[in-house]
Structure 1
Amino acid sequence: MTELRKRMMEDLILSGYAESTRESYLDAVRGLAKYYMKSPDLLSEDEIRRFFLYLRNEKKAARSTFTIYLSGIKFFYETTLQRQWQVFGITKPGKSKRLPVVLSRKEVRHLLSSIWKPHIKMALTIIYACGLRLSEGAQLKIGDMDTDRKLLWVRDGKGNKDRCVPLPKRPMELLQTHYRLFGAGSEYLFPSKGSHINKATIQTAFRVAVRKSNIGKPASVHTLRHSYATHLLENGEDTASIKEILGHSHISTTNIYTHMTEMLTGRLAKSLNELMSDL
């Protein structure tokens, strides 16, 4: 670890950022340095600006990815290097209004069955079964699993918040068996090289599985979380409970699933089926 990276890590810890955010911000600065193949403290403002243009115009970075790069690099220059951030007024892109991609339960089962590496398959199974974000699933520890009460503790979630989520019986049994076979001796449920499994490893395996399963949807690992929420609503669970499980700060974030479910299974769907039955 370089001295600059070490100092930024210390600054992030002192600022109270969650482990997942620290990793993302450090990766953002590393990406900037790799693009120019030189230390980021030697870059000019124009070079930084051109890097963000590359992210938007050539790499076509998603809004969330662009925002992480912007926040991480800005933190590095303002906090670690103690420089004023004047990179031509670069701001976070506006929020997308697109509806989330959702898989059916059959599609989820089909997708998971196409993954042959046990630790990746198990990690994705738990991400779906507990409605987790990718970073939350990757960093789970053996101490986060409460088998007596069938709960899973999610530490340092988005916004640096902890929460507990239901751990269904069958996934819990699979997870216990998996840990005995592959994780014994590690503090992490999904260990890898002395730490936890890398998020990129899970993402790559998921993309391959999406192609192999031919589901025909632009699904990502986060799609499993969207699908989890939608499936709970379809099964009659209330929005307030789902909000707490997902760790949403505002009910409006959870309500998007309500609108989608009502369109798919409510009176509107019934009326349309009746109206179009004679086509």
Structure 2
Amino acid sequence: MTPLRERMLHDMQIRNLADNTQKSYLQQVSSFARHFRRSPELLGPEEIRAWQIYLTNERKLAPSSVQLAVGALRFLYRVTLRREWSDEDFPLPKRPVKLPVILSAEEVTRFFESVPSLKQRTILMTAYAAGLRVSEVVHLQVTDIDSQRMVIRVHQGKSRKDRYVMLSPRLLEILRLYWHEAHPREWLFPGDIPGHPITRSAVALACDVARRRSGIRKPVTPHSLRHYVPFRIMSCIRVIARFPGQMDNTG
């Protein structure tokens, strides 16, 4: 690790940036340096401008991806290298405003019925019914489900903030069915490696498999599930009615 990379990493750690942000920023700066084959300390606003043009015209990256690259360089030069550069030295592309693709109630039901594994179905339903990010749902612990207050505790979500989200009675039933089947101890959704939660890539794969099995052609990802608010309650009711068995009061 170069001294500059280490210093930038320490600057991000001191400011308690999310682990994923730290990794992304370091990757973006490394790509920037490799492109020009020089240390970032020797590069300036003209190279940043040329880099943005390259990412936009040659790599065909979306504005959101270019914004991430610029954000990483802005942190490097303003925080780590302490260059007194203005916002004009880091122009950000405007992100187009697009309406989200929404699944109908029937499509949501068909999607969840296409998830063969109870564990995978419960993970995706939790993300859907509670509106959780995939990084949040995979890091849920058994003790985060508070059935007395009907809330789910989310540890260190976006911007490193803890928060509570509502736990619907229907989702609680689904979680109890899963708990009686799997008996998780620490992590609510443990992964293949003992002591570790399930990975985000495993959840993404399960989501993609279910989408293809359901025949739905609209894009469905763990992230997009949390945006299907209008049909959450109705769909959970319809799907859970097809699950066998009755859940006990465990919490």
TM-score band w.r.t. shorter chain:
0.5 to 0.7
State the TM-score, normalized to the length of structure 1: 0.62
**Structure 1 unaligned regions, length at least 5:** 236-279
Aligned to 1:15: 15
Question: What do the CA deviations read for 1:101-129 (whole angstroms, capped 9, x no partner)?
Answer: 11122212222333345544332211101
- Residue 113 (1) aligns with residue 110 (2): no
The percentage of aligned residue pairs carrying the same residue is 30
Aligned to 1:222: 223
Are the equivalent residues in 2 in contact too, given 1:29–1:76 (CA < 8 A)? no
State the alpha-carbon separation in 1 of the partners of residues 181 and 234 from structure 2: 35
Are the equivalent residues in 1 in contact too, given 2:78–2:84 (CA < 8 A)? yes
Q: CA deviation at 1:94?
A: 1.8
Q: Which amino acid aligns with 2:23?
A: L
- Residue 155 (1) aligns with residue 155 (2): yes
1:96 partner SS: coil
- Residue 29 (1) aligns with residue 16 (2): no
Q: CA deviation at 1:191?
A: 4.2
Q: Which amino acid aligns with 1:97?
A: V
Q: CA deviation at 1:37?
A: 6.4
Aligned to 1:268: none
Task: Provide the aligned length of Structure 1 versus Structure 2.
Answer: 231
Aligned to 1:92: 92
State the alpha-carbon separation in 2 of the partners of residues 183 and 203 from structure 1: 23
CA shift in 2, pair 1:59/1:160, >3 Å: same
The structure, 1 or 2, with the larger RCO (C-alpha pairs under 8 Å, 6+ apart) is 2
**Structure 2 unaligned regions, length at least 5:** 236-251
CA shift in 2, pair 1:101/1:33, >3 Å: same
State the alpha-carbon separation in 1 of the partners of residues 148 and 113 from structure 2: 28
Q: Which amino acid aligns with 2:99?
A: L
State the alpha-carbon separation in 2 of the partners of residues 212 and 202 from structure 1: 15
Aligned to 1:198: 199
Are the equivalent residues in 1 in contact too, given 2:140–2:154 (CA < 8 A)? yes
CA shift in 2, pair 1:88/1:164, >3 Å: closer
Q: Which amino acid aligns with 1:214?
A: G
Equivalence map 1:1-279=2 (5 Å): 8-17=8-17, 19=18, 22-30=19-27, 33=30, 42-43=39-40, 44-45=43-44, 52-82=52-82, 89-116=89-116, 119-178=119-178, 184-187=184-187, 189-191=189-191, 193=193, 194-228=195-229, 230-231=230-231
State the TM-score, normalized to the length of structure 2: 0.67
CA shift in 2, pair 1:88/1:214, >3 Å: farther
Q: Which amino acid aligns with 2:211?
A: V
CA RMSD between the two structures: 4.0
Question: What do the CA deviations read for 1:4-32 (whole angstroms, capped 9, x no partner)?
Answer: 76654543342143x3xx31341342255
Q: CA deviation at 1:220?
A: 3.3
CA shift in 2, pair 1:76/1:206, >3 Å: farther
State the alpha-carbon separation in 2 of the partners of residues 41 and 116 from structure 1: 51
Are the equivalent residues in 2 in contact too, given 1:151–1:164 (CA < 8 A)? yes
CA shift in 2, pair 1:13/1:223, >3 Å: same
Are the equivalent residues in 2 in contact too, given 1:142–1:187 (CA < 8 A)? yes
Q: CA deviation at 1:222?
A: 2.8
Q: CA deviation at 1:99?
A: 1.2
CA shift in 2, pair 1:29/1:115, >3 Å: farther
Question: What do the CA deviations read for 1:203-232 (whole angstroms, capped 9, x no partner)?
Answer: 34434433443323234333212212x236
CA shift in 2, pair 1:113/1:144, >3 Å: same
